[in-house]
Structure formats: C-alpha cells, structure tokens
Amino acid sequence: MDTSGFDTVARHIPLYRERLLALPGWVKDQAFDIHIASGQPLSLSGKEGALFLGKKGVTRAFQEGIVTTPQQLRELFLAACGHSVFRHEEELRQGYVRLGENLRVGVCGTAVAEGGQVRSLRDITALVYRIPRQVPGCGDRLFLEGVPLERGVLVVGPPSSGKTTFLRDVARSLSLGRFGPSRRVAVVDERGELGGYDLGPNADVLRGYPKAAGLDAAIRTLSPEVAVLDELSQGDLEAVRGAAAAGVVLLASVHGEAEHLSQRPLCRALVESGAFGTAVCLAGRGAPGEVAALVPVDSEGGVGRHEAFGSGAAGGQRAAGGPGRGGAPQAPGPAAA
C-alpha cells in the first residue's frame, strides 16, 4: 500500500491537511484525486467511488461532508499559487496550477477570453488535486509481448486511467535497460507530472516546455532514441508528424477509448501520422495503468484487433529486432530467462 502520493498532496491543502493525513491507508491508496468546490463537501474520487470528508473521517453521505466556503476556496487557490497568481498565469490559461515536482491541481472557474483565446480565469469555483503514484511494472507487457516499440506507441485511455503512470514506467524501463540495452530517453514534461520520479540513468527531462517546442529541442540537442510526451492535443500534430519523418521513436498518450481510434478526429489523425505502430488501450479508472488491449495501427488509418505480438520472451525478441523506421534505434526485446 503506497500512500506517499496522497500525503504529499494533502500537505499542499492547508485547510484540510490534518484531516486528510489522518485518513486510513485504504482510503488514501484507492484515491485518484481530491475535489474541493465552493459550497460543496470535499470529495475523494477513487476505485470505491466518491467518498466525502466528514468530521469523523470519510462517508458516502454527502450531507455529512464538510462544506468549503467561497472564501476558504479562494484561500486554497492562493495557497496553490504560492500567493502569486501572476506567476502561474500561463498554466491557468490551460486550467491548472503546478504545485511542485510531479504535482498538479486542476482549476475550474470563469474564463476571461479575448479573440477566442483564454487569457485568464476568475471566480474560481473548484480545485481538483490529482494524486501521483507509481505502478511499477505496469508497462512490462509491451516488452513481454514483443510490441515493436521502434514503430512508436500511442497510449489511449480516459481520465484517471493511468496514462502518465504507464508512460513513466516504460520510460524508466528503457532508461534502466530492464529488457535490453539502456536507451537514451527524452521526456517532455510540460505539466510537471512525468519527471517527478527517478527515471533511471539515461533519461533527460525537459520541464515546462510546450510539447511541440520540447520535442523540437530534444531532437536538435539531446539525440534521443525515444521521446516521451503526455496528453497530446490537436496543436501537437505537426510536431508529431515532423518527429515521425525524422525517424524519432515516440511514446505518447492521448485521451480517448479504444473505439475512438478510428472515430475521434484527434486519435485518427495521430494514427494516420505514421508516428505510431501500436495503440495501447488502458482498462480505465478502476485499474490505473492496466492494459486492456494492444492494437496494431497503420498510417492509412487501419486499426486492428487486440494482438499478442510475440509468444513469451522469444517472441518479444523477434518482434523487436526488425528494421526500424528511418534508421530509428531498435527498442529492446525482453531479456532471456
């Protein structure tokens, strides 16, 4: 049972710090996030559904939860910003604030827009503190089933399905050389969530870069064998296509479900970019980081069914040993038993 991520986040919530730290381990271990809204009780979303913070611990009855006043929420928001909203202006335009290494709080409020672009937020109504955690070994299936990583991997899943956790675990395995030679990995950590844990001796973390700019900087200056990006958006498409054309192996994630691969415009565009040969579909909120299906894809928009790419260790080695795209390095197959 790992409650360290929960406790770290709780220490950033001064109003409820002591109550949250005093919660039992099973509550902390299953929580995905902490939701605090104006005029509403604090809630914990997790594998057990929604739990509310009451005076005697947690409860399923929201009527028994401790309600946060508008002024209290304002104070929590200022605390999250380090009492300098201006310093977090760029993050707020995107709906979040970085609390520190590997920590992020989502911010809900009224957008102040200009020319179709969000300039700032006002009238803050809710804060959502995401709980960071590791699931060691959750990415091992890619190596054990011989997924051809050198063709690129796109991780697809709904919110709180463990996409960031999965990317981090695979990046660490590549850097450590757990299934073959150590690989040089460049991690573009725009929101400060990927690089907060030890990623091994051969990983470089570009912190705070917009994904397109970070990917360009990594390719030009760091000579990565694999580039890792989290939560791709429409604005990242050209950078992804450019990286694919340059022969860079990409390991990236996008919000979606398995059926969205050919239906959702962004997912389809990523599939057709030529940057990815396999889509990893995650199981969902109930099992963060767990793989539901491995789906072969191609640049013509073809989406296959679940496929076991190898049969045990030997199959994995065969699948990973073929020629890469554009001279890209070969991702390692699993080590022989």
* pLDDT on residue 305: 55
Say which residue the tokens 């929580």 belong to: 31
pLDDT tens, residue by residue, 242-285: 998 888 999 999 999 877 788 889 999 999 999 999 999 999 88
**Residue 333: predicted pLDDT:** 37
d(CA 105, CA 130): 6
**Sheet bearing 49-54, strands edge to edge:** 57-59, 49-54, 43-46, 31-37, 117-130, 103-114, 96-100
Predicted confidence at residue 204, as pLDDT, reads 97
Kindly report the CA angle at 306 between 305 and 312, in degrees rounded to 5? 140
Domains observed in the chain = 4-130 (3.30.450.90), 140-327 (3.40.50.300)
> Who contacts 95 (Cβ-Cβ below 8 Å, separation ≥6)?
106, 107, 108, 121
**Is 234 exposed, middle or buried, given 0-12, 13-18 or 19+ CB atoms closer than 10 A?**
exposed
Q: Which among 170, 204, 211 is positioned nearest to 190, based on CA atoms?
A: 211
User: Cα separation of 184 and 30, whole Å?
Assistant: 33
Q: Residue with structure tokens 């994630």?
A: 253
Residues of the chain with pLDDT under 70: 299-337
